[in-house]
Structure 1
């Protein structure tokens, strides 16, 4: 039984290794989505290995009724689809704060990420992703979803 699981694991790992796409060392740009009411985010990606990266996003909202921020960190795996197209998936979490009517509350959440991206010949990366988030506090609780379009400069 152990040999069967080990063999399946090796085949699975080999498949994803063969289809791995090298990611750029760094990319910075904007992620345009709802972000749970915060709107767009500043987004940074850093290469960790040949097909893994860390994505860090920061959303800030300054309004007349409330001030908020939300920071997200996601570990991502990247696989090649065809030519310059890749798909990616990841897991992570984050922290945020909402200040409204003189009351400030901090929240925490866990998140996943799945999407598709295109690398242009110029150092531009464009992606579309879906990010489910699960909040753990009274201010940000339960399942929250976000779909976003991102544009990043790769360097």
Structure 2
């Protein structure tokens, strides 16, 4: 059975450690675990002092899943304190996924499912996110000694083979929603996984009005 999933990427946000745009840059990385392995090749072309184009090609596989993806992003860079540059820009991707006997062609950008929790620590070129440690500790307490049921949306894996799922506790508590409700995560829905988008948006708006969690002191949340 074939399914065609089409969606458009609007904004790509992130942080890099480069102080300025380089004329050309080429990078590669290998990643893997007991169940999933892959490789990614990245090329960046500096267009001028603060603009660059990035093209990423990746291939990954596991026992019942294979993905080939191509991602393009246009960056506008600007400096912030702490030695990092922020960048913003539109991006798009196309990927071919083979999961069991189902084949998917995706046009867009892969990513988190429904919510985006802050990074608890520095990872590579990504700086530790504001409220990251608090978010991680809250999730650990929420899940401690509890069984979790996973619910999947349209796309089951992201571009790196990581599982995309909604989590529920035995008492029916919706873990993703609880994170947003209490201000420990922001909303980040990436089509085609938009099943609970309206719920997340409503909870985030309420948490922001009540100055809960990360909304209490993050200047960017004002």
If the length of structure 1 is used for normalisation, what is the TM-score?
A: 0.50
Q: Structure 2, unaligned stretches of length 5 or more?
A: 1-18, 112-123, 130-187, 196-222
Label 1:101 to 1:111 Cα distance change in 2 as closer, same or farther (>3 A).
closer
The corresponding residue for 1:101 is: 100
The residue that corresponds to 2:26 in the other structure is: 28
| Higher RCO (CA-CA < 8 Å; seq separation 6+) | 1
Question: Which residues of 2 match residues 1-155 of structure 1 at below 5 A?
Answer: 22-30=20-28, 41-81=40-80, 85-110=84-109, 127-128=125-126, 134-136=190-192, 141-142=193-194
Q: How has the CA–CA distance of structure 1 residues 69 and 102 changed in structure 2, closer, same or farther, with 3 Å as cutoff?
A: same
Residues 135-155 of structure 1, C-alpha deviations (whole Å, 9 max, x = no match):
34xxxx339xxxxxxxxxxxx
- Shift in Å at residue 104 of structure 1? 2.0
Normalized per residue, the structure richer in strand is 1
Tell me, in whole angstroms, the C-alpha distance in 2 between the residues paired with 1:105 and 1:111: 13
Distance in 1 between residues matched to 2:76 and 2:97, nearest whole Å: 31
Contact 2:39–2:60 (Cα < 8 Å) also in 1? no
- CA distance change for structure 1 residues 102 and 86 in 2, over 3 Å: closer, same or farther? same
- After superposition, the Cα gap between the structure-2 partners of 1:43 and 1:88, relative to the gap in structure 1 and judged at 3 Å, is same
User: Which runs of at least 4 in structure 1 moved beyond 6 Å after TM superposition?
Assistant: 31-34
Contact 2:77–2:88 under 8 Å retained in 1: yes
Q: For this pair of structures, how many residues does the alignment match?
A: 103
Alignment TM-score, normalising by the size of structure 2? 0.37
1:45, distance to aligned residue in structure 2 (A) = 0.9
Give 1:62 deviation, angstroms.
Answer: 2.7
C-alpha distance 100-33 of structure 1, shift in aligned 2 (>3 A): same
The 8 Å contact of residues 91 and 111 in structure 1, kept in 2 or not, is answered as no
Q: C-alpha root-mean-square deviation of aligned residues, in Å?
A: 3.6
More helix by share: 2
Alpha carbons of structure 1 residues 32 and 101: separation in structure 2 relative to 1, 3 Å: closer
Over 3 Å counting, the alpha-carbon distance change for 1:75 and 1:31 in structure 2 is: farther
Contact 1:25/1:47 (8 A) holds in 2: yes
